Amino acid sequence: MASPGAARGGIRLEAITKTFGETRALDGITLAARPGSFLVLLGPSGCGKSTLLRVVAGLEAPGSGRLLLDGRDVTSLPPAARGISMVFQSYALFPHLSVAENIVFGLRARGVERGERERRLAQTAELLGLGRLLARRPAQLSGGQQQRVALARAVVAEAPICLMDEPLSNLDAKLRAEMRREIRALQQRLGITMVYVTHDQAEAMSMADQVVLMRDGHVEQDATPAELYARPASVFAASFIGTPPMSLLRLVPGRDGAEVAGAPGMAVAPAAAAGALLGIRPEEVALSDADGLPARLIAAEFLGAETVLACAVGDGEEVLQARIPGNHALAAGTPLRLRLPPAAHLFDAGTGRRLPDPA
Ligand code: ATP
């Protein structure tokens, strides 16, 4: 049991599995979230993020494994007994109720007395800037305002843990960016533990204290955003993070070290790296004049502050992306020379796992 006065909201999952018929949606998930931290479950569609969130919420029973909240085994407890609030992708607001009634609906259902309901409603409305909208119906609100009501409904529960499943996917890009900041600020201000599901790596990187990257029902990497970016544990993690993501080049033995297949005489990594995949972040590549890896431009994409160049290198089968500051209106086919960073990311070409850093 948690000691009295200890910070609340600690989560521990131990070897959680879940199968639906033939599908193994969760394949032994073990992870822990600190009280008051922001944990993001990140991964492609179908990797098991929502199922895992539903297991934590108690909406789905795991096949095996244990869930502990603040040290207490809650695996078989119903949702209402877990001290958890939840925000869904579809805001699930009641159309016939006012904003105020929507916000306190859960409190009313749990028999929280009127004075307390009103105190919490006023506080939550103030926190989320909903004061002037309380009498409206959901249909009279913008998408962003509806999202805020859904958040308010979770906040008003004053639960130490809040779960969110892709809460921003119905909003346009600008509003998404605003709401990201707002949710993060709210989580920090309230000191609650947040478990947040998204397939958007930018959302994960900008909001999380801890990112759990999932793939096919297992944890591919569990790390801080900074570590995930700096030291991806696998080709999958390397390819999932960054805009555009890391380029991966096959290395073959060469005269002075390992080189890109089809680019003889240009060592790009120590000899021991031959046979591996070299990972290069596009922002670490620069254009160079005479020396540098020969390349041919496939396409240039101007993004305003910078241009992303997709380049064919070596035997032409390898594609290296470069993110270069400024506008580079270059025609497809233009020959280029690229300066690469020192070999920082090497991966086993068979298993896809990260190899020890070259000396
Ligand atoms: P998305 O981002 O698309 O929502 P996800 O990562 O949240 O994906 P889940 O919804 O957790 O993935 O699904 C994981 C796997 O389990 C998928 O293969 C999915 O088809 C399967 N699955 C989920 N729920 C059920 C269900 N109720 N019945 C059968 N299969 C299910």
Residue 306, φ and ψ in degrees, nearest 5 = -150, 170
Q: Among 211, 229, 247, which residue terminates a domain?
A: 229
- Residue 327's domain comprises 239-347
Kindly give the number of the ligand 1 atom that is closest to the alpha carbon of 54: 11
- As a whole number of angstroms, the distance between CA 327 and CA 301 comes to 9
Sheet holding 218-223: strands in order across?
84-87, 161-165, 193-198, 38-42, 210-215, 218-223
Q: In terms of domains, do 204 and 284 share one?
A: no
Q: In terms of domains, do 155 and 257 share one?
A: no
Question: What SS3 class is residue 9?
Answer: coil
Ligand 1 geometric centre to CA of 51 (Å): 6
- As a whole number of angstroms, the distance between CA 109 and CA 7 comes to 27
Ligand 1 geometric centre to CA of 39 (Å): 20
What pLDDT is stored for residue 1 in this prediction? Answer: 43
Q: In terms of domains, do 244 and 206 share one?
A: no
- As a whole number of angstroms, the distance between CA 79 and CA 143 comes to 28
Kindly give the number of the ligand 1 atom that is closest to the alpha carbon of 52: 11
Q: What is the best residue among 23, 53, 170 to mutate for testing ligand 1's pocket, by most ligand atoms within 8 Å of CB? A: 23
Question: What SS3 class is residue 35?
Answer: coil
Contact 171, 179 (CB under 8 A): yes
Contact 36, 7 (CB under 8 A): yes
Q: In terms of domains, do 25 and 169 share one?
A: yes
Instruction: List the residue whose alpha carbon is closest to atom 25 of ligand 1.
Output: 20
Domain membership flag for residue 271 = yes
What pLDDT is stored for residue 224 in this prediction? Answer: 98
What pLDDT is stored for residue 315 in this prediction? Answer: 82
What pLDDT is stored for residue 359 in this prediction? Answer: 63
Domain membership flag for residue 1 = no
Domain membership flag for residue 283 = yes
Kindly give the number of the ligand 1 atom that is closest to the alpha carbon of 18: 16
pTM (2 d.p.) = 0.91
What pLDDT is stored for residue 289 in this prediction? Answer: 82
Positions in the chain short of pLDDT 70 = 1-6, 91, 358-359
Q: What is the best residue among 18, 19, 42, 51 to mutate for testing ligand 1's pocket, by most ligand atoms within 8 Å of CB? A: 51
One-letter amino acid for residue 3 of the chain: S
Domain membership flag for residue 5 = no
Domain membership flag for residue 200 = yes
Q: How many domains does the chain have?
A: 2
Q: Any idea which residue has 């991806």 for tokens?
A: 232
What pLDDT is stored for residue 136 in this prediction? Answer: 93
Nearest alpha carbon to residue 207 among 168, 151, 240? 168
Ligand 1 geometric centre to CA of 156 (Å): 29
Ligand 1 pocket: which residues have CB below 6 Å?
A: 20, 23, 25, 43, 45-51, 199
Nearest alpha carbon to residue 85 among 35, 149, 34, 158? 158
Ligand 1 geometric centre to CA of 20 (Å): 9
Encoding tokens for residue 280? 């290069």
